Structure formats: structure tokens, C-alpha cells
Amino acid sequence: MSAVVCADVGSTYTKAAVVDLDGGRLVAAASAPTTVGTDVLHGLDAAVGAATASAGVAEVPWYVCSSAGGGLRLAVVGYEPLVTAQAGRRVGLSAGANVVHVAAGRLGGVDVAALRAARPDVVLLVGGTDGGDAETVTHNATRLAKARFRVPVVLAGNADVRADLHALLAGAGVPVTVADNVLPRIGVLEPASARAAIREVFLRHVIGGKKLSRGMRFARLVRAATPDAVLTGVEVLAGTVGGDLAVVDVGGATTDVYSVLTPDERDSGPSQEVAGTLWRARTVEGDLGMRWSAPGVVRAAVEERLLDAAEEAELTVAAAVRAAEPGFLPAGDGERAVDRRIASLAATVALRRHARGAA
């Protein structure tokens, strides 16, 4: 058996699985509370130790992803809110980021202050198609340089000014990584280069900067942000099944939707989306979850006309209980049925929003 450990370090729990690569099967799994308050390696080692002991293996390779400490907080600064800023947001989500701030147009002093207040780990600076507007992205890069902004920047805008802006930001001491333009032409969204650059910055700057662990072992172990790893897995699965695929991850506080779709040649015509269509997409619904965000599920389900008045009243009470006690565990078939209903509603609403917002 060729075994490996796959581990996900979340903000609440760390999960570990032993996988047999030869047989393509799950051998064992275990979890442990994530020890963010001390050193995340304590929880990671505990989870991996329990999983490998159950599988009867030792000294196997580890593949670790992480969303601990809030994961990857990304701010997007673009040229226009409905085009490049929207394109940048979609690319950031696909890279596994929590997009905490979106700004568009020429940054002023108030805008820079708002950007700082969002406390991003990375800024995705976009703007202008290749050969198009260069003034806005140049202005914004200059503002960040003069503001002594030290948050890492991924520069993925107009290729015509890429070299000059890289030199400007680097000369001001801003950590900067260059990527291809996310929107080289209107209606053409190319996320791969920026997604790879964001991943690189996450591994090089963010994991170590979170101070989740003493020493460099944790930073060496982590290979990707958890949502980025999940979307990669969904891409592989879509290639295996040979068709369109959507995966919904309902958590306690958020619900993520991942989709891989076959490009439609009809979307290259006059009616195409100006910000481009992301055929490998992820959206995050921060108000939909099984515990912390259970009341949001009920509200959203009512807005989507998925509940009648009687069920709304029943689920409103149940959701309040779950939000007040995130560690709540269902007792009996009735409570388990309520949990399943909340999960089903969260998934349904998230899929509908995903269909509206990812493309």
C-alpha cells in the first residue's frame, strides 16, 4: 500500500485522512481541535497521529492545506466595479481567498484608509485590458507605494505598464508578485496566472505571517489554502467523470460552492459577460451555515420562497438554538431531521446564488 496523509487545518478542527494511492481508497480518518491559541502543530500532530495509528502506518508523506487564522484575506483594487474589479473578485475566490474588500476607480485617502481597515493579507491590483486604460492602475499602484503599504501585492492588470509598476512598488518596499492580466480583453477572464501568484504569496508570506506556529515547520508543510485545494480536487473529479460538476460544502458559519463547467461557445458572442465567465468557480456565502449562520439560512430560504409560514416558524426557533450554541449536537431523529433540512436549504440557496454570481 502506498499511503499518504491528507490534512486540513481549519480554524476550529483539524482533519486528517490516510489515503491509499494504489487502491484509491480512504484507509482511516481522525480529527482534533485546532490549537490556534497555542501552536497549530499540536492539533495537527494529534490528528495525524490518530489517523496513522488507526491505519497502522508510519513515516508517510503529508499533504497539508490550511484555512486557520481566517485563511487568506484578499482585497481587490480594480478599474471599474462591474468589469475589472468584479473579474478580480471572481479570481480571488477561485484562488481560495476570503475577499474582504473590493475597491474600484482611483484610490483617494479615504479609500486607502478603508483598504487598511479591511486588514487584507494580500492585495490583488488589477485594471485595464491589455492596451487599454493604464492611468487608473498606475495611479493606484502609486498611491499604495506612497502610502508605505507593506501588504503583499499581486499585480495582474494592463500588461503595457506591468514592468513599470512592478519597479515602482518594489522600489517602495512593497512585496509584489507579477501575474498575467486577469481581463486581457473585455469578456475574456483568464484567472490561472493570478490564481497561481496568489497561491505563491499565500505560502510565502501569509502562512508564516499568521504566527500560527513557532518555527518554520508548519509553513513548510502547508501546500495551499484549503478552498484552493478543494477547487483543484473538484477540477480533477470533473475531469474524471467527464462532465459539468458542482460541489457544495456546508459549514457551521459559511457555505462554499465549487463548480467546473464546460465552456459554452455561445458566451463568446455579443451577449457575453463583460467581466468574463469563470468556468472553474467558487463562491462563499457568509450568511449560510449549520450553526453560527443558521438564522441566515432561514431568512434566505424565505426570500427564495422555499418555506411556508409553518416551517419558517419551526426552523426560526431551531436556528436560533444552533446559533447560540455552535457546539450543538442533535439528539434523536427529530433534531437530525432538522439539521438535514437546514443543510438542504443552505445548499439550495448557495447553488442559486452561485449560478447568479459566478458567471
Spatial separation of the C-alpha atoms in residues 61 and 232, rounded to whole Å:
19
Banded pLDDT at 266 (limits 50, 70, 90): very low
**Cα dihedral angle (56, 62, 63, 66), rounded to 10 degrees?**
100
- Flag whether pLDDT at 274 surpasses 60: no
Choose from 80-89, 131-140, 350-359 the range with maximum mean pLDDT. 131-140
Own/partner long-range contacts of 295-298 (Cβ < 8 Å, ≥24 apart): 295/319, 295/320, 295/323, 297/342, 297/345, 297/346, 297/349, 298/342, 298/345
Residue-wise pLDDT for 99-110, tens only, equals: 889 999 999 999
Q: What is the pLDDT of residue 277?
A: 56
Banded pLDDT at 209 (limits 50, 70, 90): confident
Q: What is the pLDDT of residue 86?
A: 83
Looking at residues 67-78, what average pLDDT do you find? 87
Residue-wise pLDDT for 143-169, tens only, equals: 999 998 889 999 999 999 999 999 999
DSSP H helix total and E strand total for the chain: 12, 13
Question: What pTM did the predictor assign?
Answer: 0.76
- Pick 326 or 289 by higher pLDDT: 289
Are residues 155 and 178 in contact, defined by beta-carbon separation less than 8 angstroms?
yes
Residue-wise pLDDT for 212-249, tens only, equals: 898 899 999 999 988 889 989 998 999 898 888 999 99
Q: Name residues whose C-beta falls within 8 Å of residue 47's C-beta, 6 or more positions apart in sequence.
A: 7, 14, 15, 16, 30, 31, 32
Looking at residues 67-82, what average pLDDT do you find? 86
Spatial separation of the C-alpha atoms in residues 88 and 120, rounded to whole Å:
15
Looking at residues 42-57, what average pLDDT do you find? 97
Looking at residues 179-185, what average pLDDT do you find? 93
Banded pLDDT at 270 (limits 50, 70, 90): very low
Residue-wise pLDDT for 290-312, tens only, equals: 998 999 999 999 999 999 999 99
- Pick 37 or 305 by higher pLDDT: 305
Q: What is the mean pLDDT of the chain?
A: 89
Percent of the chain past pLDDT 90, that is, above it, reads 62
- Pick 58 or 47 by higher pLDDT: 47
Q: What share of the chain is helix, strand, coil (3-state, %, to 5)?
A: 45, 20, 35
Strand, coil or helix: what is 221?
helix
- Flag whether pLDDT at 91 surpasses 90: no
